[in-house]
Amino acid sequence: MQLFYNSDINEATQQLTFSKEESRHIVRVLRKKERDILHITNGKGFLFSAEISIASDKKCIATIVNTETKSKPWNYYLHIAIAPTKNNDRLEWFLEKATEIGIDEITPIICQNSERRVVKLERLEKIVQSAMKQSLKFTLPKLNEPIKFNDFINQNSDETMCIAHCEEGEKKLLKDTVKPSEKTIILIGPEGDFSSEEIKRSLEKKLQPISLGESRLRTETAGLVAVQTISLINQ
Amino acid sequence: MQLFYNSDINEATQQLTFSKEESRHIVRVLRKKERDILHITNGKGFLFSAEISIASDKKCIATIVNTETKSKPWNYYLHIAIAPTKNNDRLEWFLEKATEIGIDEITPIICQNSERRVVKLERLEKIVQSAMKQSLKFTLPKLNEPIKFNDFINQNSDETMCIAHCEEGEKKLLKDTVKPSEKTIILIGPEGDFSSEEIKRSLEKKLQPISLGESRLRTETAGLVAVQTISLINQ
């Protein structure tokens, strides 16, 4: 199944007009004709089937003929706050893989040791969207604006918050820290790790220091290992 | 710590001559001088400390002053047989991440639905080596020559062999199939999945069909999810 994404449609939508770019793709590349059925999600747990009424490569129009609700295939709520990697590809890679496995919310956090402090959300949005479509999911992970480390730990406090830092000290394994179906936030630091000051603050804020295991992992690998650990705990 | 890799040195080695390329890197880029100490692994569980005796950017020579054995940080033996991805980056990405997390052996398997049937092992070797160095490991995963699916399942039979195919049918979750510290081989198929014929053969050969969970995963993501699942089972 080829899945399209359109955030604007909802249960009340009857007709759908595709953008020029999408119309071209549908008619020219996919060679869809009138009466063909397209599958579209709004990323909010809905799958819409729409019949093409006008197969124009500039302005393709389709009429919604069926609406299904689709619950997400993962049974947990996971929010990863991750420092953008120096090399942007690595963050993008993390977003793609995390979306495939199952994640609800991602926040880029700017830390003292962050070498990259600017993030192009628009590009990241596109990566998350295509990963959702490619893995046939109907719930789009929420991608938040970048935020400074301190602001982030100050404003999130109700969920279980874990910090995966590399400094010495008492740490439990992530898999022994989080309970199934527990709403969880996990902080992943930049290449140079969280600063001692940030780690100190996180402890004052009662974040749980966790370990992802014996191996030394890159930022984006640590992020993915965290996602897969939560996924397994809930399997 | 900056780690170098040289497969030729062993406990008997006393002096070490770096290649022109490495010598240049050591002397020009890292600005190492005589009497500086370099750290080298042979990828066989050894860490050698060597003192630079001649800091020439064409032919750097170092004398081994200390030898340590380093056991691998993972306590399992995992062999992943994975179909090369159509886009080579994705296989390379899998190799890098699997090496970071912990893997012992990787075999590219050529399947009926494989779109890519040629693999450049030399390039893959370099990726595994740099991931080992970057994650400060001292055991280099074994990268085998590509082999046809049928030949592979015929020649490996003593270990627990699992196949992660996407066809309907009775499958246990990988995490419920493998026991801790059990020597395991896991087969990961190409973009088009294993063929029905291959799946049938694997069952005749008593391979265990396994599921990696509810999500639809790309080949390289499935491979990494398998590695991380085994890693967690053994944590």
Q: Are residues A181 and A120 in the same domain?
A: yes
CATH number at residue A54: 2.40.240.20
Residues B107 and B208 grouped into a single domain: yes
Q: How many CB pairs under 8 A join A and B?
A: 80
| Strand, coil or helix: A182 | coil
Residues in A closer than 8 angstroms to B100, CB to CB, are 215-218, 221
Reported as a single tens digit per residue, the pLDDT across B37-78 is 999 999 999 999 999 999 999 999 999 999 999 999 899 999
What burial class does residue B191 get, using C-beta atoms within 10 Å of its C-beta: 0-12 exposed, 13-18 middle, 19+ buried? middle
Residue type at position A47: L
A85 and B CB contact within 8 Å? no
Query: B134 with B188, same domain?
Result: yes
Interface residue B232 vs chain A (CB under 8 A): yes
Tell me B207's DSSP state: P
Residue A217, domain CATH: 3.40.1280.10
Q: Cα–Cα distance between B228 and B235 in angstroms, integer?
A: 10
User: Is B82 in the same domain as B30?
Assistant: no
Calculate the average pLDDT of chain A.
94
> Final residue of a domain: which of B21, B38, B69?
B69
Q: Are residues A25 and A112 in the same domain?
A: no
Q: Which residues of chain B have a CB within 8 Å of the CB of A229?
A: 228, 232
CA distance A228 to chain B (A): 7
Q: Give the distance from residue A188's alpha carbon to the nearest chain B alpha carbon, in angstroms.
A: 16
Instruction: Please judge whether B100 and A232 are an interchain contact, meaning their C-beta atoms are less than 8 angstroms apart.
Output: no
A66 beta partners? A49
Q: Are residues A207 and A171 in the same domain?
A: yes
Does A124 lie in the same domain as A59? no
pLDDT greater than 80 at residue A168: yes
Q: Both A183 and A216 in a single domain?
A: yes
Residues 6+ apart with CB under 8 A from A65: A37, A49, A50, A51
How many separate domains does chain B show? 2
* Burial of residue A204 (number of CB atoms within 10 Å: 0-12, 13-18, 19+): exposed
Judgement on whether residues A96 and A128 belong to the same structural domain of the protein: yes
Identify the domain boundary among A69, A93, A108.
A69
Instruction: Name the band, by pLDDT with cuts 50, 70 and 90, for residue B232.
Output: very high
Residue of chain A minimizing CA distance to B136: A216
- Check residue B160 and give its pLDDT: 87
In chain B, what residues touch A93 (CB-CB under 8 Å)?
Answer: 93
In the listed set A49, A69, A89, which residue is the last one of a domain according to the structure?
A69
Instruction: Using CA coordinates, name the residue in chain B closest to A103.
Output: B215
Q: What is the pLDDT of residue A214?
A: 86
Are B173 and A135 in contact (CB < 8 Å)? Answer: no
Q: What is the pLDDT of residues B178-205, one digit of tens each?
A: 999 899 999 999 999 999 999 999 999 9
Of A93, A175, A215, the CB nearest to B101: A215
Q: Which residue has the higher pLDDT, A138 or B156?
A: A138
Distance from CA of B6 to the nearest CA of A (A): 21
Contacts of B225 in chain A (CB under 8 A): 101, 228, 231
pLDDT score recorded for residue A159: 78
pLDDT tens digits for range A8-21: 999 999 999 999 99
Interior angle at CA B61, CA B56 and CA B66, nearest 5: 140
Is the pLDDT assigned to residue A145 strictly greater than 90? yes
Residues A107 and A204 in one domain: yes
A177-196 pLDDT, tens digit each? 999 989 999 999 999 999 99
Judged by a CB distance cut-off of 8 A, whether residue B136 touches chain A is: yes
Cα angle A57-A61-A65, degrees, rounded to a multiple of 5: 140
Condensed to tens digits (0 to 9), the pLDDT of residues B73-125 reads: 899 999 999 999 999 999 999 999 999 999 999 999 999 999 988 899 999 99
Strand order in the sheet with A37-41: A3-5, A37-41, A46-54, A61-69, A15-17
Summarize pLDDT for A120-137 with one digit per residue, the tens.
999 999 999 999 999 999
Same domain, A158 and A48: no
Hey, how many other C-beta atoms are within 10 angstroms of the C-beta on A186?
Answer: 27
Please tell me whether residues A147 and A218 are part of one structural domain: yes
Largest CA distance in chain A: 64
- State the pLDDT at residue A205: 92
Length of chain B: 235
Amino acid symbol at B228: Q
Q: Which domain holds residue B51?
A: 3-69
Q: Once rounded to an integer, what is the mean pLDDT over residues A194-200?
A: 96
Those residues whose C-beta lies under 8 Å from the C-beta of residue B18, and which sit 6 or more positions away, are: B4, B26, B59, B60, B61, B62
Q: Are A98 and A223 in contact (CB under 8 A)?
A: yes
